[in-house]
Amino acid sequence: MTANWQGNGGLVAATVLGLVLLLALPQIVDPVMMIELTSYVIMAILALSLGLIWGYGGILCFGQSAFFGIGAYAYAIAVINFGDSTVPLLLSIVVPGLFAALLGYFLFYARITDVYFGVITLTVTLILYKVMGATSGSQYVIGAAPLGGYNGIPAVPPLNFPGRPDVALSFDGLFYLSGLTLLAVYVGLRLMLKSRFGQVVVAIRENERRAELLGYDARFYKLATFTIGGAIAGLAGCLFANWGMFISPDVFGLAQSAQVIIWVIVGGTGTLLGPIVGCFAIQWIATKLGAQQLLNANLVLGTILIGFVLLVPKGVVPTVGDAFRRLKFRPYVAPLVEQRRVP
Protein backbone atom coordinates (compact mmCIF):
# COMPACT_ATOMS: atom_id res chain seq x y z
CA MET A 1 0.00 0.00 0.00
CA THR A 2 2.77 2.40 1.01
CA ALA A 3 4.91 1.40 -1.96
CA ASN A 4 1.94 1.97 -4.22
CA TRP A 5 1.38 5.46 -2.84
CA GLN A 6 5.07 6.29 -3.19
CA GLY A 7 4.98 5.08 -6.79
CA ASN A 8 2.06 7.36 -7.57
CA GLY A 9 3.70 10.19 -5.63
CA GLY A 10 6.77 9.88 -7.84
CA LEU A 11 4.61 9.95 -10.93
CA VAL A 12 2.74 13.06 -9.75
CA ALA A 13 6.06 14.77 -8.96
CA ALA A 14 7.43 13.88 -12.40
CA THR A 15 4.29 15.24 -14.06
CA VAL A 16 4.45 18.52 -12.14
CA LEU A 17 8.16 18.90 -12.92
CA GLY A 18 7.45 18.22 -16.57
CA LEU A 19 4.69 20.84 -16.70
CA VAL A 20 6.86 23.42 -14.94
CA LEU A 21 9.70 22.85 -17.44
CA LEU A 22 7.22 23.05 -20.29
CA LEU A 23 5.96 26.45 -19.16
CA ALA A 24 9.28 27.86 -17.94
CA LEU A 25 11.68 26.91 -20.74
CA PRO A 26 10.22 29.20 -23.45
CA GLN A 27 10.56 32.12 -20.99
CA ILE A 28 14.24 31.58 -20.20
CA VAL A 29 15.67 30.00 -23.36
CA ASP A 30 16.48 32.05 -26.46
CA PRO A 31 14.40 31.43 -29.62
CA VAL A 32 17.17 29.71 -31.59
CA MET A 33 17.73 27.27 -28.76
CA MET A 34 13.96 26.73 -28.58
CA ILE A 35 14.03 25.34 -32.13
CA GLU A 36 16.72 22.87 -31.04
CA LEU A 37 14.89 22.08 -27.83
CA THR A 38 11.68 21.26 -29.70
CA SER A 39 13.51 18.71 -31.82
CA TYR A 40 15.04 17.19 -28.64
CA VAL A 41 11.56 16.82 -27.17
CA ILE A 42 10.27 15.13 -30.36
CA MET A 43 13.24 12.78 -30.48
CA ALA A 44 12.75 12.00 -26.79
CA ILE A 45 9.32 10.59 -27.69
CA LEU A 46 11.05 8.34 -30.24
CA ALA A 47 13.60 7.35 -27.58
CA LEU A 48 10.77 6.50 -25.17
CA SER A 49 9.21 4.18 -27.73
CA LEU A 50 12.45 2.21 -28.00
CA GLY A 51 12.84 2.39 -24.21
CA LEU A 52 9.53 0.55 -23.96
CA ILE A 53 10.22 -2.06 -26.63
CA TRP A 54 13.82 -2.77 -25.72
CA GLY A 55 14.12 -1.79 -22.06
CA TYR A 56 10.87 -3.33 -20.87
CA GLY A 57 9.85 -5.71 -23.64
CA GLY A 58 13.38 -7.06 -24.07
CA ILE A 59 12.89 -6.83 -27.85
CA LEU A 60 16.10 -5.81 -29.62
CA CYS A 61 14.72 -3.51 -32.32
CA PHE A 62 17.39 -1.86 -34.47
CA GLY A 63 14.85 -0.28 -36.76
CA GLN A 64 12.74 1.94 -34.56
CA SER A 65 13.27 4.75 -37.06
CA ALA A 66 11.23 2.75 -39.59
CA PHE A 67 8.05 3.49 -37.64
CA PHE A 68 9.19 7.07 -37.03
CA GLY A 69 9.66 7.56 -40.78
CA ILE A 70 6.42 5.82 -41.73
CA GLY A 71 4.56 8.06 -39.28
CA ALA A 72 6.20 11.15 -40.79
CA TYR A 73 5.46 10.08 -44.37
CA ALA A 74 1.90 9.02 -43.50
CA TYR A 75 1.25 12.46 -42.00
CA ALA A 76 2.90 14.38 -44.84
CA ILE A 77 1.14 12.48 -47.63
CA ALA A 78 -2.24 12.58 -45.91
CA VAL A 79 -2.13 16.25 -44.89
CA ILE A 80 -1.15 17.37 -48.40
CA ASN A 81 -4.18 15.48 -49.73
CA PHE A 82 -6.71 16.29 -47.01
CA GLY A 83 -5.82 19.86 -46.06
CA ASP A 84 -7.16 19.38 -42.52
CA SER A 85 -4.62 17.68 -40.23
CA THR A 86 -6.97 15.80 -37.89
CA VAL A 87 -7.12 12.53 -39.83
CA PRO A 88 -3.43 12.71 -40.94
CA LEU A 89 -2.42 12.99 -37.28
CA LEU A 90 -4.38 9.84 -36.48
CA LEU A 91 -2.93 8.10 -39.55
CA SER A 92 0.59 8.91 -38.35
CA ILE A 93 -0.18 6.74 -35.30
CA VAL A 94 -2.32 4.06 -36.92
CA VAL A 95 -0.27 3.33 -40.05
CA PRO A 96 3.07 2.66 -38.29
CA GLY A 97 1.15 0.80 -35.57
CA LEU A 98 -0.36 -1.51 -38.18
CA PHE A 99 2.99 -1.88 -39.92
CA ALA A 100 4.59 -2.85 -36.58
CA ALA A 101 1.74 -5.30 -35.92
CA LEU A 102 2.16 -6.96 -39.31
CA LEU A 103 5.97 -7.15 -39.13
CA GLY A 104 5.83 -8.24 -35.49
CA TYR A 105 3.24 -10.90 -36.21
CA PHE A 106 5.53 -12.70 -38.65
CA LEU A 107 8.61 -12.30 -36.45
CA PHE A 108 7.19 -13.17 -33.02
CA TYR A 109 4.93 -15.98 -34.16
CA ALA A 110 7.87 -17.49 -36.02
CA ARG A 111 9.78 -17.17 -32.72
CA ILE A 112 12.59 -15.11 -34.26
CA THR A 113 15.13 -14.55 -31.48
CA ASP A 114 17.05 -11.47 -30.34
CA VAL A 115 19.93 -10.95 -32.75
CA TYR A 116 17.97 -12.05 -35.81
CA PHE A 117 15.18 -9.75 -34.75
CA GLY A 118 17.64 -6.86 -34.61
CA VAL A 119 19.08 -7.68 -38.03
CA ILE A 120 15.66 -8.01 -39.67
CA THR A 121 14.28 -4.76 -38.22
CA LEU A 122 17.43 -2.89 -39.27
CA THR A 123 17.12 -4.36 -42.77
CA VAL A 124 13.48 -3.30 -42.99
CA THR A 125 14.51 0.29 -42.23
CA LEU A 126 17.24 0.26 -44.85
CA ILE A 127 14.86 -1.24 -47.43
CA LEU A 128 12.43 1.61 -46.73
CA TYR A 129 15.32 4.05 -47.19
CA LYS A 130 16.09 2.59 -50.63
CA VAL A 131 12.44 2.32 -51.65
CA MET A 132 11.56 5.87 -50.68
CA GLY A 133 14.78 7.07 -52.30
CA ALA A 134 13.72 5.48 -55.58
CA THR A 135 10.52 7.50 -55.79
CA SER A 136 11.91 10.54 -57.59
CA GLY A 137 9.97 11.26 -60.73
CA SER A 138 6.54 12.58 -61.52
CA GLN A 139 4.99 9.10 -61.68
CA TYR A 140 5.54 8.57 -57.94
CA VAL A 141 2.62 10.53 -56.59
CA ILE A 142 0.07 9.63 -53.96
CA GLY A 143 -2.96 11.85 -54.60
CA ALA A 144 -1.61 15.37 -54.64
CA ALA A 145 1.62 14.45 -52.83
CA PRO A 146 4.78 13.82 -54.89
CA LEU A 147 7.14 11.48 -52.97
CA GLY A 148 10.25 13.15 -54.37
CA GLY A 149 12.83 10.38 -53.93
CA TYR A 150 15.90 11.38 -51.90
CA ASN A 151 14.79 15.01 -52.13
CA GLY A 152 11.81 14.19 -49.95
CA ILE A 153 8.57 16.08 -49.55
CA PRO A 154 9.04 19.83 -49.00
CA ALA A 155 6.54 22.27 -47.51
CA VAL A 156 4.62 19.80 -45.37
CA PRO A 157 1.60 21.73 -44.02
CA PRO A 158 1.62 22.17 -40.22
CA LEU A 159 -0.90 20.71 -37.78
CA ASN A 160 -4.05 22.75 -37.31
CA PHE A 161 -6.82 23.05 -34.78
CA PRO A 162 -9.06 19.98 -35.33
CA GLY A 163 -11.49 20.76 -38.15
CA ARG A 164 -10.08 24.28 -38.75
CA PRO A 165 -7.33 24.16 -41.42
CA ASP A 166 -7.02 27.97 -41.23
CA VAL A 167 -5.90 27.87 -37.55
CA ALA A 168 -2.40 26.43 -37.95
CA LEU A 169 -0.05 25.50 -35.13
CA SER A 170 2.63 28.14 -34.47
CA PHE A 171 6.21 27.18 -33.73
CA ASP A 172 5.74 27.91 -30.01
CA GLY A 173 2.58 25.85 -30.21
CA LEU A 174 4.56 22.92 -31.61
CA PHE A 175 6.90 23.06 -28.61
CA TYR A 176 3.98 22.97 -26.18
CA LEU A 177 2.23 20.20 -28.13
CA SER A 178 5.43 18.11 -28.34
CA GLY A 179 6.15 18.67 -24.65
CA LEU A 180 2.62 17.67 -23.65
CA THR A 181 2.83 14.62 -25.92
CA LEU A 182 6.12 13.57 -24.35
CA LEU A 183 4.63 14.00 -20.89
CA ALA A 184 1.45 12.12 -21.83
CA VAL A 185 3.41 9.24 -23.37
CA TYR A 186 5.66 9.08 -20.30
CA VAL A 187 2.75 9.05 -17.83
CA GLY A 188 0.76 6.64 -20.01
CA LEU A 189 3.66 4.19 -20.19
CA ARG A 190 4.31 4.44 -16.45
CA LEU A 191 0.67 3.57 -15.75
CA MET A 192 0.70 0.81 -18.34
CA LEU A 193 3.80 -0.74 -16.82
CA LYS A 194 2.12 -0.82 -13.40
CA SER A 195 -0.89 -2.68 -14.79
CA ARG A 196 -1.18 -6.44 -15.17
CA PHE A 197 -0.22 -6.09 -18.83
CA GLY A 198 2.98 -4.23 -17.92
CA GLN A 199 3.86 -6.75 -15.21
CA VAL A 200 3.55 -9.58 -17.71
CA VAL A 201 5.64 -7.74 -20.33
CA VAL A 202 8.47 -7.35 -17.83
CA ALA A 203 8.08 -10.95 -16.65
CA ILE A 204 8.46 -12.14 -20.26
CA ARG A 205 11.63 -10.07 -20.63
CA GLU A 206 12.97 -11.68 -17.46
CA ASN A 207 12.10 -15.26 -18.35
CA GLU A 208 9.98 -16.00 -21.38
CA ARG A 209 9.65 -19.73 -20.77
CA ARG A 210 8.51 -19.25 -17.18
CA ALA A 211 5.92 -16.70 -18.24
CA GLU A 212 4.55 -19.12 -20.82
CA LEU A 213 4.45 -21.93 -18.26
CA LEU A 214 2.36 -19.59 -16.09
CA GLY A 215 -0.15 -19.36 -18.92
CA TYR A 216 0.85 -16.16 -20.75
CA ASP A 217 1.23 -16.19 -24.52
CA ALA A 218 4.58 -14.41 -24.84
CA ARG A 219 4.12 -13.93 -28.60
CA PHE A 220 0.94 -11.91 -28.07
CA TYR A 221 2.40 -9.72 -25.31
CA LYS A 222 5.54 -8.99 -27.34
CA LEU A 223 3.46 -8.18 -30.40
CA ALA A 224 1.27 -5.80 -28.39
CA THR A 225 4.35 -4.05 -26.90
CA PHE A 226 5.97 -3.79 -30.31
CA THR A 227 2.79 -2.34 -31.84
CA ILE A 228 2.40 0.26 -29.09
CA GLY A 229 6.07 1.21 -29.51
CA GLY A 230 5.61 1.50 -33.27
CA ALA A 231 2.56 3.74 -32.88
CA ILE A 232 4.39 6.05 -30.43
CA ALA A 233 7.38 6.29 -32.79
CA GLY A 234 4.98 7.19 -35.60
CA LEU A 235 3.47 10.00 -33.57
CA ALA A 236 6.99 11.35 -32.97
CA GLY A 237 7.54 11.16 -36.74
CA CYS A 238 4.44 13.29 -37.33
CA LEU A 239 5.77 15.95 -34.96
CA PHE A 240 9.16 15.77 -36.64
CA ALA A 241 7.60 16.39 -40.08
CA ASN A 242 5.92 19.43 -38.50
CA TRP A 243 9.17 20.64 -36.97
CA GLY A 244 11.12 20.66 -40.23
CA MET A 245 8.03 21.09 -42.47
CA PHE A 246 9.95 18.60 -44.58
CA ILE A 247 10.49 14.87 -44.73
CA SER A 248 13.04 12.79 -46.66
CA PRO A 249 14.26 9.16 -46.70
CA ASP A 250 17.07 10.18 -44.33
CA VAL A 251 14.71 9.34 -41.45
CA PHE A 252 15.15 5.67 -42.48
CA GLY A 253 18.94 5.94 -42.69
CA LEU A 254 21.50 4.02 -40.67
CA ALA A 255 22.55 7.12 -38.72
CA GLN A 256 19.02 7.77 -37.49
CA SER A 257 18.52 4.11 -36.45
CA ALA A 258 21.82 4.04 -34.60
CA GLN A 259 21.16 7.34 -32.79
CA VAL A 260 18.04 6.06 -31.04
CA ILE A 261 19.87 3.02 -29.75
CA ILE A 262 22.71 5.20 -28.44
CA TRP A 263 20.27 7.47 -26.56
CA VAL A 264 18.71 4.47 -24.83
CA ILE A 265 22.08 2.87 -24.01
CA VAL A 266 23.48 6.08 -22.51
CA GLY A 267 20.30 6.94 -20.61
CA GLY A 268 19.76 3.40 -19.43
CA THR A 269 17.49 0.52 -20.43
CA GLY A 270 14.78 -0.63 -18.07
CA THR A 271 13.75 2.92 -17.15
CA LEU A 272 11.52 5.45 -18.91
CA LEU A 273 13.44 8.48 -17.67
CA GLY A 274 16.72 7.07 -19.05
CA PRO A 275 15.90 7.27 -22.77
CA ILE A 276 14.62 10.86 -22.31
CA VAL A 277 17.75 11.93 -20.41
CA GLY A 278 20.04 10.12 -22.86
CA CYS A 279 18.29 11.71 -25.84
CA PHE A 280 18.52 15.25 -24.45
CA ALA A 281 22.13 14.86 -23.32
CA ILE A 282 23.51 13.31 -26.50
CA GLN A 283 21.66 15.74 -28.77
CA TRP A 284 22.81 18.69 -26.74
CA ILE A 285 26.41 17.49 -26.90
CA ALA A 286 26.05 16.86 -30.65
CA THR A 287 24.76 20.41 -31.16
CA LYS A 288 27.64 21.89 -29.14
CA LEU A 289 30.19 19.76 -31.00
CA GLY A 290 28.69 20.81 -34.32
CA ALA A 291 29.36 24.44 -33.41
CA GLN A 292 33.13 23.94 -33.06
CA GLN A 293 35.76 22.94 -35.61
CA LEU A 294 38.45 21.43 -33.40
CA LEU A 295 37.16 17.87 -33.16
CA ASN A 296 35.07 15.71 -35.43
CA ALA A 297 31.64 15.44 -33.77
CA ASN A 298 31.05 11.79 -34.70
CA LEU A 299 34.45 10.85 -33.31
CA VAL A 300 33.59 12.36 -29.93
CA LEU A 301 30.12 10.80 -29.88
CA GLY A 302 31.61 7.40 -30.72
CA THR A 303 34.09 7.77 -27.87
CA ILE A 304 31.26 8.68 -25.49
CA LEU A 305 29.29 5.59 -26.53
CA ILE A 306 32.30 3.27 -26.07
CA GLY A 307 32.98 4.91 -22.71
CA PHE A 308 29.44 4.27 -21.59
CA VAL A 309 29.32 0.67 -22.74
CA LEU A 310 32.58 -0.04 -20.89
CA LEU A 311 32.21 2.12 -17.77
CA VAL A 312 28.48 2.70 -17.23
CA PRO A 313 26.93 -0.33 -18.92
CA LYS A 314 23.59 0.13 -17.18
CA GLY A 315 23.25 3.73 -18.36
CA VAL A 316 23.01 7.01 -16.44
CA VAL A 317 19.60 6.74 -14.80
CA PRO A 318 19.85 3.15 -13.41
CA THR A 319 23.40 3.85 -12.15
CA VAL A 320 22.34 7.01 -10.33
CA GLY A 321 19.28 5.15 -9.00
CA ASP A 322 21.47 2.36 -7.62
CA ALA A 323 23.72 4.89 -5.90
CA PHE A 324 20.71 6.52 -4.23
CA ARG A 325 19.38 3.14 -3.11
CA ARG A 326 22.73 2.27 -1.54
CA LEU A 327 22.69 5.56 0.41
CA LYS A 328 19.10 4.96 1.49
CA PHE A 329 19.72 1.44 2.78
CA ARG A 330 22.97 2.24 4.56
CA PRO A 331 21.40 2.20 8.08
CA TYR A 332 20.38 -1.42 7.54
CA VAL A 333 23.89 -2.56 6.73
CA ALA A 334 25.46 -1.56 10.06
CA PRO A 335 23.46 -3.81 12.42
CA LEU A 336 23.98 -6.82 10.13
CA VAL A 337 27.74 -6.35 10.27
CA GLU A 338 27.52 -5.97 14.06
CA GLN A 339 25.55 -9.19 14.33
CA ARG A 340 28.11 -11.12 12.39
CA ARG A 341 30.90 -10.03 14.75
CA VAL A 342 29.10 -11.47 17.76
CA PRO A 343 30.38 -15.01 18.27
Partner 1 sequence: MSSSDCILETRGLEKRFGGVVAIASVDFNLKQRELRCLIGPNGAGKSTFFKMLTAQLKPTTGQILFDGVDITRAQPHQVSRLGIGIKNQVPDVFNNLTVAENISVAARSRHGKARAAAKGKDVMERLGLTSLTGRLVGELAHGQRQWVELAMVVALEPKLILLDEPAAGMTADETNKTAELIREVNKSAAIVVVEHDMQFIKQIAQTVTVFHQGRVLIEDTMDKVQGNELVREVYLGKSEDD
**Which residues of this protein are in contact with partner 1, per CB under 8 A?**
196, 199-200, 202-203, 206-207, 209-218
Q: Name the residue nearer to partner 1 (CB basis): 147 or 200.
A: 200
Closest contact distance (angstroms) between CB of 320 and partner 1 is 18
From the list 45, 18, 34, 85, the residue with the least C-alpha distance to 235 is 45
Q: Name the residue nearer to partner 1 (CB basis): 172 or 206.
A: 206
CA angle 137, 142, 148 (to 5 degrees): 35
Closest contact distance (angstroms) between CB of 221 and partner 1 is 10
Q: Name the residue nearer to partner 1 (CB basis): 192 or 258.
A: 192
Whole-angstrom distance, CA of residue 4 vs CA of residue 255: 41
Closest contact distance (angstroms) between CB of 187 and partner 1 is 21
DSSP 137-157: STT-EETTEE--GGG-B-SPP
Q: Judge contact between 201 and 189, C-beta under 8 A.
A: no
Closest contact distance (angstroms) between CB of 270 and partner 1 is 8
Is the Cα torsion angle 45, 15, 228, 153 positive or negative in sign? Answer: negative
Q: Judge contact between 211 and 218, C-beta under 8 A.
A: yes
Please list the residues that pair with 146 across neighbouring strands: 141
**H-type alpha helices, the chain:** 2-28, 31-50, 64-82, 86-109, 114-133, 171-194, 196-206, 208-213, 218-244, 254-267, 273-290, 297-311, 316-328, 330-341
Closest contact distance (angstroms) between CB of 17 and partner 1 is 27
Please list the residues that pair with 164 across neighbouring strands: 161
From the list 104, 32, 9, 13, the residue with the least C-alpha distance to 61 is 104
From the list 18, 65, 32, the residue with the least C-alpha distance to 287 is 32
Closest contact distance (angstroms) between CB of 237 and partner 1 is 32
**Is residue 161 within a helix (H) or strand (E), and if so which, with residue range?**
strand 160-161
Strand, helix or coil for residue 168:
strand
Closest contact distance (angstroms) between CB of 219 and partner 1 is 8
Closest contact distance (angstroms) between CB of 201 and partner 1 is 10
Cβ density class 76-109: b for 16+ within 10 Å, e for less: bbbbbebebbbebbebbbebbbbbbbebbeebbe
Closest contact distance (angstroms) between CB of 209 and partner 1 is 7
